[in-house]
Amino acid sequence: MKTTVTEVDPTELDDTASRDDDSSAGSDEQKERTFGPKVKLTVEVDEETFDEAIDQAFRKIAQEVRIPGFRKGKVPRPVLESHIGGEYARAQALEDAIPGYYADAVRAESIDVIAAPELSLTAGEQSGQICFEAVVETRPTVSFSGYGDLEVEIPSPVPSDEEVQEQIDAQRRQSAELVDVERPASSGDQVSIDIQGTVDGEPLPGLTADDYLYAVGSGGIVEEVDNELEGASAGDELSFTAGHPVQEDVSIDFAIKVHAVKEEVLPELTDEWVEENTEHDSVENLRSETSQRMKMMRIFQANAAMRENTATALAELVEDSIPDSMVNGEMSEQLQQLAMRLQGQGMNLETWMQMTGQDPETFTEELRDAAERSAKVDLALRYIASNEAIEVDEDDLDEELERMAEQFQTSPNELRQQIEDQGDGLGPVKAEIGKRKALEWLASEVQLVDENGDPIDRKDLELPDLAESDSEEDSDADTVDNAEESHEEDPEKDQE
C-alpha cells in the first residue's frame, strides 16, 4: 500500500464553507464554521492485497446466501462467483476494506486527525488496483506568549487559627445545649416553627410540619425562609412568597409561626471535655491534630486547584479560533462522562437537569464553553511541550503503558502491540504524556497567590513526612518512659 499526503489549499475550505452557508441561508442565524488544516491522503492498494479483502467479502456473503447442495457459510468462492458474479463481492470488499486502509494510512503517516474523513474512490471500482482519496481535518497548532508570567490563584494550603477553631467548635456543637432566649433570631440559632408551603392553595409534600426545629442561615429550604426568620421573635407569624427551587415560573406561598428562638451553648473547651468526647487527651493535642488534618486536606485541594487553575489561565492566552470538530468532540466526550457518572447515581441527564433547574439551551452553552476551553488547553500544552523542548522518553512511555495495562487488565507488551497494530499508534499516547509533563512544568513555574493575593510558599504545598512525625512522637514517648523508669529505679536521687 502506497500513501501520498498533500496539504489542502485553505481557500478550498473557504469555498466549501461558503457553499454550506448558501445551502442553509434560510435559517435566521448563521454561525461561521471553523475548520482545522486539511490534508489529502492518496492511497493506492495493489490487486494482490485487495484480493484478500475480496476473499473476506465472499466469506461474508456465504453466511448470508443459500445455494442448493452447500451448507450455509461453506460455499466455495468459485461457486459464489458463478451464481452472483464478482461485482457484488468487489463492491462489498470496497465498502468493508477502505476504512481499514484509511486507518492504516493515517497510522503509518502519523496524521493527527480530528474529524471523520471525506472518502472518494478514484480507481478500481470495477477492476485493477484500488486508489482512493481521503480529505481529513487535522489538529491545528497555536503559538502565543505570556505563559511565563502567569499568576494563578489557589486556596491557601495553611489553615488559619480561626479555621482550626471553627473545626473544633463543630465538634463542640455535637455536645451543645439549646437554650431558649428572649431575643430575635440570628444566623446560627435554632427556631421551633410551624411551617406550611403551598402552591395554588395545595400543600407541598415535605413543606408542612409542626414544631419543626430549623437552623437559621442553613439554607435548608429556600433563601427567603432564612431571610424572613432572621430577626423574627417567638410569637411572630410570617407570610411570604418564594420561587420554587427547581420548577421555573412556580411560586410557593409560605406561612410560618415561630414558637421559640433557641441559642446553641457550646461546652467549655477544657482538657476534661476533650478527653471525654474525642480521641485526644488535651486541648493542645486536639488543636494540633485538627490543624495537621486540615493542612493535609488543604494541601491536596491546593495542588488540585493549582493544576486546574493553571490550565484555565493558560486557555485564556490562546486567541486562535478552535475548529468546530475539536469543540464538538470535547462536548461529546464530556457529555458521555457526565451521563456515566449520573448512571452510577441512578439517574439520567433529563432528571439531573430538572433537579438542578437547568434549561437545555443554557446547559448546551455552558457545555460548549467548557469544551472550547478544554480544546484550547490541549493545543496550548502541545505548544509549550514543543516550545520548551519537553521530551517523552521510553521510560515515560513504559510507565504510561504499565498504568494503562493495569487499567485494562492486560500486559504492557500486549497493549503496546494492540495500539501499534490496531489503534492509532503510539503517537497519541506520547502526546498525552507530553501534555501532562508540560502542565507539570508550567504549574511549577507560575506565580501562586491565595484568595487575598498574598504569595504562597511552595514548601507549604509539600505533604509532611508522617513517618518522620510518628518517629518523633515515638522518640518523645521513649524519652518519657525512660525518665519514668529511671525515677522508679533510683528514687533516692530525687529526694537528694
| DSSP structure string for 52-90 | HHHHHHHHHHHTT---TTS-TT---HHHHHHHH-HHHHH
In degrees rounded to 5, what are phi and psi of residue 193? -135, 155
Of the given ranges (116-120, 351-355, 391-395), which has the lowest mean pLDDT? 351-355
- Quick check: 75 pLDDT over 50? yes
Residue 492: CB atoms within 10 Å? 6
pLDDT band at 47 (very low <50, low <70, confident <90, very high): very high
Greater model confidence, 163 or 359 = 163
Q: How confident is the model over 320-348, as a mean pLDDT? A: 92
Alpha-carbon separation of residue 112 from 8, 36, 378 (angstroms): 15, 11, 13
Q: In the structure, what pLDDT confidence band is assigned to residue 496 with cuts at 50, 70 and 90?
A: very low
Check pLDDT > 80 for residue 490: no
| Structure confidence at residue 30 (pLDDT) | 52
pLDDT at 27: 43
Q: What number of other Cβ atoms are within 10 A of residue 27's Cβ?
A: 8
Residue among 300, 279, 301 at smallest CA distance from 290: 279
**Sorting pLDDT into bands at 50, 70 and 90, what band is 495?**
very low
The pLDDT-based confidence of 471 (bands split at 50, 70, 90) is low
Sequence-ordered list of residues with C-beta below 8 angstroms from that of 282, at least 6 positions apart, any chain: 271, 274, 275
CB 7 within 8 A of CB 37: yes
pTM for the model stands at: 0.75
pLDDT at 12: 63
| DSSP per residue, 274-329 | HHHHSS-SSHHHHHHHHHHHHHHHHHHHHHHHHHHHHHHHHHTT--SPPPHHHHHH
Distances (CA, A) of 461 to 57, 296, 300: 61, 9, 8
State residue 205's pLDDT score.
Answer: 85
Across the chain, mean pLDDT equals 87
The percentage of the chain sitting over the pLDDT mark of 90, rounded to a whole number, equals 69
- Of the CA atoms within 13 Å of residue 305, those in its CB half-sphere come to 18
Q: Grid coordinates 439517574 are at which residue?
A: 347
- The CA distance from 113 to 103, in Å, is 10
Cα distance between residue 257 and residue 255, in whole Å: 7
What confidence score (pLDDT) does residue 474 get? 53
Neighbours of 408 (CB within 10 A): 10
Contact assessment for residue 66 and residue 138, using Cβ atoms and an 8 Å cutoff: no
Mean pLDDT, range 104-116, rounded to an integer: 92
Residue 290: pLDDT band (50, 70, 90) is very high
Number of helices (H) and strands (E) in the chain: give both, helices first. Answer: 16, 11
What DSSP character marks residue 179?
Answer: E
φ, ψ dihedrals at 146, nearest 5°: 105, -10
How sure is the predictor about 132, in pLDDT bands with cuts at 50, 70 and 90? very high
Bigger pLDDT: 476 vs 151: 151
Q: How far is CA 65 from CA 55, 72, 73, 78, in A?
A: 15, 7, 8, 14
Mean pLDDT, rounded, for 372-397: 96
What pLDDT score does 355 carry? 80
- Whether the pLDDT of residue 457 is over 50: the answer is yes
366 is written with which cell numbers?
A: 455552558
| pLDDT over 80 (residue 465) | no
Instruction: Indicate if the pLDDT at residue 72 is higher than 90.
Output: no
Mean pLDDT of 210-214: 94
94 close to 304: Cβ distance less than 8 angstroms: no
- What distance in Å separates the CA atoms of residue 198 and residue 223, rounded to the nearest whole number? 16
Q: At what angle do helices 394-408 and 412-421 cross, to 10 degrees?
A: 100
Cα gap 442→457, rounded to integer Å: 16
pLDDT of residue 257: 97
CA distance 193 to 22: 65
Rg of the chain over Cα atoms, rounded to whole angstroms, equals 35
Q: What is the pLDDT of residue 10?
A: 72
pLDDT at 358 (0 to 100): 81
Contact criterion met (CB below 8 Å) for 314 and 443: no
Mean of pLDDT values over 89-96: 91
H or E element, residue 430? helix 427-445
Any idea which of 35-39, 68-72, 367-371 has the lowest mean pLDDT?
A: 68-72
Instruction: Give mean pLDDT, residues 36-63.
Output: 90
Q: Exposure of 210 by Cβ count < 10 A (0-12 exposed, 13-18 middle, 19+ buried)? A: exposed
pLDDT digits (tens, 9 = 90+) for 414-451: 999 988 887 678 889 999 999 999 999 999 999 999 99
Distance separating alpha carbons of residues 151 and 449, to the nearest angstrom: 7
pLDDT score, position 33:
82
Q: What is the pLDDT of residues 13-34, one digit of tens each?
A: 555 444 444 444 444 445 678 8
What is residue 478's predicted lDDT score, i.e. its pLDDT?
A: 53
pLDDT attached to residue 485:
52
**For residue 481, is pLDDT > 90?**
no
